[in-house]
Amino acid sequence: SHVFNRPGTYDITISVRSHNDGQIRTRTVENMIVVRPRPDAAFSWKLPEAVIGESVSVQLLNQTERSSSSTWLLGEEQLNSSTSKLKIPGEYPVHLIASNAYGCQDHSIETLRLGDRLGAGAPSSFSPNGDGRYDSFLPKAAAESSGNWSFSVFDSDEVEVFRTDNAQRPWNGELIDGASSEGKRFQWVLIMNDRDGNPMLYSDEVRVE
């Protein structure tokens, strides 16, 4: 027996010594073993920059080289497309079964994480009135992160009113058009990498008091 570690076409040669005359006779069969390459299933996902409500549309990206077909599973449920609407918060096991032109398959699984204000360590409201208490807003997960992240705030019309990737520049409640934000609710989105290095999203509402 022999384990073929690389794809390719292999000739097989056998040599036999005769018990009668002691001679060694050899025979080669060309192209006897054909090992097809197996795909290396790999994928990621794209998260939206704006989120309204308690669900988010996630686009799954098949990054398998020379893949001819693929099947997506969310948990044990097969998806009809590479785009799925998921509820916040939640942790979702995503499976990719990738096939190549030879019919060989490979399987990969990653966990897609979506969090709310509790997971991000963010308050439900803040009061930018200059009293020195809760004058600005930035989720704790962003402020304590050592990696890259992006934080955005949107009004009820899904218009971005603030964006930062600097923990020293949190949102102070100011709007681009100079209007007052007092008494209004805003949706915020924090995109960063999780502990496995995969993109994850936190999103929730915040009220300006």
Under 8 Å CB-to-CB from 185, ≥6 apart: which residues?
156, 205, 206, 207, 208
Write down the pTM of the prediction: 0.83
Q: How far is CA 176 from CA 11, 130, 157, 171, 203, in A?
A: 71, 19, 14, 12, 21
Q: Give the per-residue pLDDT at 100.
A: 95
pLDDT digits (tens, 9 = 90+) for 20-64: 898 999 999 999 999 999 999 999 999 998 898 899 999 999 999
Tell me how far apart the alpha carbons of residues 135 and 208 are, in angstroms, rounded to a whole number: 10
How many CB atoms neighbour CB 77 within 10 A?
9
Over residues 86-143, the pLDDT tens digits come to: 999 999 999 999 999 999 999 999 999 999 999 999 999 999 988 888 999 999 999 9
For 65, residues 6+ apart whose C-beta sits below 8 A from its C-beta are 39, 40, 42
160 vs 9, 78, 89, 153, 157, CA distance in Å?
Answer: 57, 34, 22, 6, 9
Cis peptide before 89 (omega within 30 of 0): yes
Other beta carbons within 10 angstroms of residue 88's beta carbon come to 17
111-144: string of b/e by CB count within 10 Å (b at 16+)? ebbbbebebbebeeebebeeeeeeeebbbebbee
Residue with tokens 């290396």: 40
Percentages (nearest 5) of helix, strand, coil residues in the chain: 5, 50, 45
Query: What are the φ/ψ torsions at residue 48 (nearest 5 degrees)?
Result: -75, 150
